[in-house]
Amino acid sequence: MAETKKFQVVIIGAGGAGLTAAIYTSRAKLSTAIFEKLTPGGQIALTDLVENYPGFPEGILGPDVSQRMEAQAKRYGTEVIYEEVKSIAKQNGGFQITTGSGSYSAAAVILASGASFRMVGVPGERELTGKGVSYCATCDGAFFKEKEIVVVGGGDSAMQEGIFLTRFASKVTVIHRRDSLRASPILKDRAKANEKIEFVWDTVIEKILGEKKVEGVSLRNVKTGETREFRTDGVFIFIGHDPNSALVKEFVEIDESGYVKATDSLQTSVPGVFAAGEIRAGAVKQLVAACGEGCEAALAAQHHIENL
């Protein structure tokens, strides 16, 4: 086995929370590694336009803000390691982190691996993912020029991404399981005013139809029980997220939904391990809040290291 590489701080997950934590710890001259199994930016990298991050009155593109945060962390010496963390354990008063190809040690760890999109769990969904079923409008929207698509969900993500998808699609039908939207008033109003968007209320998808690609969906009205088939070229699913906490679910305390429990100072049940951003139970799921928590966790980790 290769030699263990030593860092003072290891951050797991390079989304808004993790990258902000890295900017703070590396700028405080703590040797810092941040592990990322996909691309930096987390959910923000998959978002078209971020309109509510202060300082950008015209909005800023999700991938842009992600790349800028990564560059800022690297500027102060953060090492960005594109590997999936496989295990984390206590060792010599600190922690040992292993990936598929290496072993690393840290005096403090910040968990910032966020959350991933939720699946509906119906027949056809898994089989047709990438063949008309998508969870990312920014990634796949352009494949649906002049096509008719459906969006599943009634929250902010469904509205924001549904509006974005009208740039490409000729028609976007939002399928929501209730008769009122969970989304915030501004996005709700914008979606309702968009001529390309139609709503199907009180309805769930029971099956996604198609052999080689999506051809339609089976719908069921939850109030009347009526079922019908609805022709569509694409199914975009935005029904919330689940925490990426499988790695640590036996290492730190988690709540019944799998989110990591942490104190007001973002300390988990294991001293020296902190949680920031969407992985944390009770987190406000907004970029600016994730960044704020990244900062707080970095300062707490710094304090922890100073007192070792």
Site for ligand NAP in 67-96 (CB under 6 A): none
**Could you say which of 177, 188, 220, 261 contacts ligand NAP (CB under 6 A)?**
177
The one segment of 70-78, 103-111, 232-240, 244-252 that binds ligand NAP by CB under 6 A: 232-240
Asked if 111 contacts 252 with a C-beta cutoff of 8 angstroms, the reply is: yes
CA terminus-to-terminus distance, the chain: 28
For position 207 contacting ligand NAP by CB under 6 A, the verdict is no
**Candidate residues 4, 52, 101, 265; the one interacting with ligand NAP per rule CB under 6 A:** 52
**Least gap, CB of 238 to ligand NAP (angstroms):** 5
Q: Helix or strand or coil: residue 274?
A: strand
Provide DSSP, 104-160: EEESEEEE---EEEPP---TTTTTTBTTTEES-HHHHGGGGTT-EEEEE--SHHHHH
Min dist CB 186 to ligand NAP, Å, is: 8
Quick one: 168 or 236, whose CB is closer to ligand NAP? 236
Q: Rule CB under 6 A: is residue 44 a binding residue for ligand NAP?
A: no
Measured CA to CA, the distance from residue 209 to residue 207 in angstroms comes to: 6
Contacting range for ligand NAP; rule: CB under 6 A; set: 23-31, 62-70, 237-245, 299-307: 237-245
Beta strands at 227-231 and 133-134: parallel, antiparallel or unpaired: unpaired
Among 147, 190, 220, 285, binds ligand NAP (CB under 6 A): 285
Apex 291 CA angle, 286 and 296, nearest 5 = 125
Q: Which residues are catalytic?
A: 136, 139-140
Contacting residues toward ligand NAP, per CB under 6 A: 52, 120, 152-158, 160, 177-178, 182, 204, 238-241, 285
